[in-house]
Amino acid sequence: MNTCIHPFQIHLNTNAARNEPSKQKVEGSSFSNELMQAIEKAGHLKISKHARARMEQRNIDISPAKWQQIEEKIREAKVKGVKEPLVLLNNAALVISAVNNTVITMMARHEANGQIFNNIDGTIIVD
């Protein structure tokens, strides 16, 4: 009987089959880790060059805790379909693109009195 399968060949084929799924798992978990990191980074607000210049010119100081509150409210606003909210703080007014997670402009709160804000579709008040 010349039609025997050599046990060594079976062993190699089984290992090859075992290695394939493990490579996919490693690549898959690596991809999911990178995806989660990108999502976490995407949640942070960026400040446009224009808004940063306004912030420095007007000496507007916003604490890290306040930025975190703003980010949370922007996420909530996105869920409700808001794309460009006006964010009012005790000391500042910010116009933010919720779509791009970017602060477009900002001014001191007393400067916002009497101003007309256009191209906004929501308002967020953060105390």
User: Distance between CA 44 and CA 5 in Å, rounded?
Assistant: 60
Residues 112 and 57 in one domain: yes
The reply to whether 29 and 70 lie within a common domain is no
- In this structure, are 32 and 49 located in the same domain? no
Residue 54 and residue 115 share a domain: yes
Structural domain including 15 reads: 1-42
Q: Are residues 57 and 31 in the same domain?
A: no
Q: What is the pLDDT along the chain (127 residues), one digit of tens a residue?
A: 555 444 444 444 444 444 444 444 444 556 655 654 554 555 689 999 999 999 999 999 999 999 999 999 999 999 999 999 999 999 999 999 999 999 999 999 999 999 999 999 999 999 8
Looking at the whole model, is its pTM more than 0.85?
no
67-88: pLDDT as tens digits? 999 999 999 999 999 999 999 9
17 and 54 together in one domain: no
Q: Are residues 82 and 21 in the same domain?
A: no
Q: Are residues 57 and 108 in the same domain?
A: yes
Q: In the chain, how many domains are there? A: 2
